[in-house]
Amino acid sequence: MPRVEGFEQWPQRVSVTEVGPRDGLQNEPTVLDIAEKLELVHALVAAGVTSFELTSFVSPRAVPALADAGELVAALRGLDGVHLSALVPNPRGAERALEAGVDAVVLFVSASETHNAKNVNRSVAASLSGFEDVARVLDGSGIALRGAIATSFGCPFEGDVEAAAVGRIAQRFAELGIRDVSLGDTTGMATPPLVAERIRHLREAAPQIAPTLHFHNTRGLGLANVMQGLALGVDRYESSIGGLGGCPFAPGASGNIASEDLIYLLDEMGIATGIDLDGMIEAARVASRLMGRPLPGQVSKAGPRLALGDCSAVPTARG
């Protein structure tokens, strides 16, 4: 599709990382086995997805749905052109990730103290200090380091989170040599004005950081927030197939923006992703079948804008 008039200065291409196998599945009552997870990932790869936040090397007791992290990475690491990242909370998680053979690890911390305590049972300062130990474990391994800041737009326990808190964490990531940092909207508290404020502050506080935006659609503003990010030139986003997802340590954390809905929006704006919309709709249907229920994503139900119906199958009004 050609570029849309008025959006010429927006990114021409956007990178989309699929987080469904990790963020999408961690809070679901239905726990998929390894074969089912592989079926879902292969459906996404067939649609053109090349970047995955695949799993998390946390305690299996804390997140039972991701207990098979090492096995899943081992089964997928030979896929040509596919980049696999995983969350790690501490040096032990980093050792497991290194053994499994991930391409990148994601160091995650919350911008709010209360959520960080619930999420990883640590203060923010302790988490940031521990990242230095993780970096030492991975030094020389060739595994890339990425950062993620949860509750970047608000905390379900504390309310508003100051942009400065996000900026300070981004600066610490930059000191570790990390350049790719995701701002997580853990419970869907982001709004377009908050997105603009966070991005502008981040660019002042840590200009070497390339931000990724990770929105939840809890209050229906997920794609509106993407539009704000695009207007500011942000070209990296994370999404979850079918709109799966949520944080088990935050009340009201419903699903991420649906990957197929995001791809539809970007396609309609003439922004390239390298991902096929029809393939993503099929992957969303696979996810729905595996989970045993309809998922929140919209495009997989309605189809693309020009998915036409059979006129003869619809009754004509009388009267």
Is 74 inside a domain boundary? yes
Asked if the structure places residue 4 within a domain, the reply is no
Contact 234, 205 (CB under 8 A): no
Domain count, the chain: 1
Helix/strand/coil for 85: strand
Inside any domain, residue 96? yes
Q: Among residues 185, 186, 204, 180, which one has the least CA distance to residue 195?
A: 185
What b/e string do you get for 148-164 counting C-beta neighbours within 10 Å, with b at 16 or more?
bbbbbbbbbeeeebebe
Identify the sign of the CA torsion 203, 209, 212, 213: negative
Catalytic residue among 44, 107, 202, 247: 247
Q: Which residues of 124-136 are buried (b: 16+ CB within 10 A; e: fewer)?
A: beebbebbeebbe
Q: Which domain holds residue 223?
A: 15-313
β-bridge mates for residue 85, sequence order = 53, 104
The pair of structure tokens assigned to 208 is: 């070497």
pLDDT tens by residue, 253-312? 568 999 999 999 999 999 999 999 999 999 999 999 999 999 999 999 999 888 877 788
Residue 79 in domain:
yes
Does 268 map to a domain?
Answer: yes
What is the chain's pLDDT, residue by residue, as a tens digit (319 residues)? 666 666 678 999 999 999 999 999 988 889 999 999 999 999 999 999 999 999 999 888 888 899 999 999 999 998 999 999 999 988 999 999 999 999 999 999 999 999 989 888 889 999 898 899 999 999 999 999 999 999 999 999 999 999 999 999 999 999 999 999 999 998 899 999 999 999 999 999 999 999 999 999 999 999 999 999 999 999 999 999 999 986 655 555 568 999 999 999 999 999 999 999 999 999 999 999 999 999 999 999 999 888 877 788 878 888 6
| CA–CA distance, 99 with 113 (Å, rounded to integer) | 31
Cα–Cα distances (Å) from 307 to 243, 261, 281, 311, in that order, read 21, 15, 12, 12
Q: What's the alpha-carbon Rg for the chain, to the nearest Å?
A: 19
Query: Residue 6: inside a domain, yes or no?
Result: no
Active site residue 247: yes
Amino acid, res. 288: S
Whole-prediction pTM value? 0.93
Residue 209, in any domain of the structure: yes
The CATH number of the domain where 70 resides is what?
3.20.20.70
